[in-house]
Amino acid sequence: DSEKHSRQQNNIESNARTYSRTINKLIVSGKGSVVTDAEGLEYLDLLSCAGTLALGHRHGEITQVLKDYLDSDHIMQGLDILTPAKYDFTQQLLSVLPQALREQAKIQFCGPTGADAAEAAIKLLKTATGRRTVFAFHGGYHGMTAGALALTGNLTAKQHVASLMPDVHYFPFPYEYRSPYGVRGEALTSVSLCHIESVLADPESGITKPAAIILEALQGEGGCIPAPKEWLQGLRDICTRYDIPLVLDEVQSGFGRTGQMFAFEEAGIIPDAILMSKAIGGGLPMSVVVYKEKYDKWQPGSHAGTFRGNQMAMVSGCKTMEIIKRDNLCQAAAEKGKYLKDKLLRLQQKYPEIGDVRGRGLMLGIEMIKPDSDNAAADGELAKEIKKTCFLEGLIVETGGRHGAVIRLLPVLTIDYDEINKAVRILEYSIKLALK
């Protein structure tokens, strides 16, 4: 085995993906929040495949339903064919939607990734409205394929492929900590909404009414930035008044992560379409767009895709949703998240380099800064250094946001309090070491 492992370890060098460049170990097993490398070293995983593993690595019940399914006579792939697995999955998904949406929900199964859901939603809403522009936000992240990338409000990622992009207009996201308008709270909410509405209300603005406004209620890759709930409510109101479909990307924040089933629920709003992926497949690839019936303008064949009938993902996804409800994991995420956030806020008191602590539930981030600089400059180098030390000490975290200065924590929803304490200990040790 060790010879095989050493061959496999060498292969890591040829892997182009960034995760494997920083997590440069051969991971041979995992359980819950913990993964183990070929040398037997354990790592507490506070990334959870970018929030995908709501129930952790190798959850016993998920493994079991998958084994049972393999042992049954049911089919593995089904395109759009109705199967018992698809029926159960659909019923389960409808049951976790807000009541007001459930009654008018249509479900589009997409290709296996979050980006596929973004592509499908925009295509559908352009078809349904006959409009060609889309409004998106700075720091928003919706995937890496051409259409999804166009919606992503991060210039670096798309500078070489801009010619592929559809017509998207970006607005500043209400980033309280670094408010682009120099105002915060209610004032930021009003200024930001006013900016959007003034574009819509002015026929001479040069920007036509969009087919959709797309956003994350709590930006993930953008640096763990929660939208104020009044802002979300205001945006909902604008969308209603101007008859613009409001699309919430819950690919990362959905399925309990923020302490509610979906992050938009905190604001009490109902979107017109929701993008879902990651946790919805219970660890297997799947994505879905849920949208209001009135936008159901697909003709047969309008939107194809071979791998949207992955039965195994429906089986593990269905069980995952069942367990999230049964074990009250939304509430658990809220409570554990509060516990973890309090600890991070305590670290902030001790280290002026922690400029901001933010997020909800188990979707948290700390923004590292140069405390003596003008405007508390983001310190991506420091965040990178901390992440590196964390890994050497047995803790997996990710960085994100402007300049990569935000350390992002996305633990599995089943993490326990001892593991949280241990993660914070390693994080503090790594901060101290990086500041030396």
Interface contacts to ligand PMP, rule CB under 6 A: 50, 113-115, 118, 141-143, 216, 220-221, 249, 251-252, 277
Minimum CB distance to ligand PMP, residue 124 (Å)? 16
Q: 322 with 406: CB under 8 angstroms?
A: no
Residue number, 250 or 272, with CB nearest to ligand PMP: 250
**CB under 8 Å to 246, separation ≥6 — which residues?**
212, 213, 235, 236, 239, 269, 271, 272, 273
Minimum CB distance to ligand PMP, residue 286 (Å)? 10
Minimum CB distance to ligand PMP, residue 143 (Å)? 4
**Integer Cα distance of 50 and 322 in angstroms:** 21
- The HSE-up count of residue 88 (CA atoms within 13 Å, CB side) is 16
Structure tokens at 225: 């930035």
Tokens 């939107």, located at residue: 303
Minimum CB distance to ligand PMP, residue 154 (Å)? 12
- Which residue lies nearest ligand PMP, judged by its C-beta? 114
Minimum CB distance to ligand PMP, residue 375 (Å)? 27
Residue number, 255 or 382, with CB nearest to ligand PMP: 255
Minimum CB distance to ligand PMP, residue 323 (Å)? 22
What residues does 378 pair with on adjacent strands? 369
- Burial pattern 245-255, b for ≥16 Cβ within 10 A else e, equals bbbbbbbbbbb
- The closest of 400, 298, 322 to 19, measured between CA atoms, is 400
Minimum CB distance to ligand PMP, residue 112 (Å)? 8
Minimum CB distance to ligand PMP, residue 162 (Å)? 19
Residue number, 221 or 419, with CB nearest to ligand PMP: 221
Residue number, 114 or 361, with CB nearest to ligand PMP: 114
Residue number, 200 or 413, with CB nearest to ligand PMP: 413
What residues does 108 pair with on adjacent strands? 289
CA dist 377 to 60, 157, 290, 351, 435, Å? 45, 22, 39, 15, 16
Residue number, 114 or 359, with CB nearest to ligand PMP: 114
Both ends of the chain: CA-CA distance in Å? Answer: 40
Rounding to the nearest 10 degrees, give the CA dihedral for residues 195, 225, 356, 365.
-170
Minimum CB distance to ligand PMP, residue 57 (Å)? 18
Q: 222 with 257: CB under 8 angstroms?
A: no
Residue number, 249 or 379, with CB nearest to ligand PMP: 249
Residue number, 98 or 114, with CB nearest to ligand PMP: 114
CA dist 174 to 177, 193, 228, 410, Å? 9, 9, 7, 22
Residue number, 365 or 376, with CB nearest to ligand PMP: 365
- Burial pattern 48-82, b for ≥16 Cβ within 10 A else e, equals bebbbbbbbbebeebeebbeebeeeeeeeebeeee
Residue 433, phi then psi, degrees to nearest 5 = -65, -40
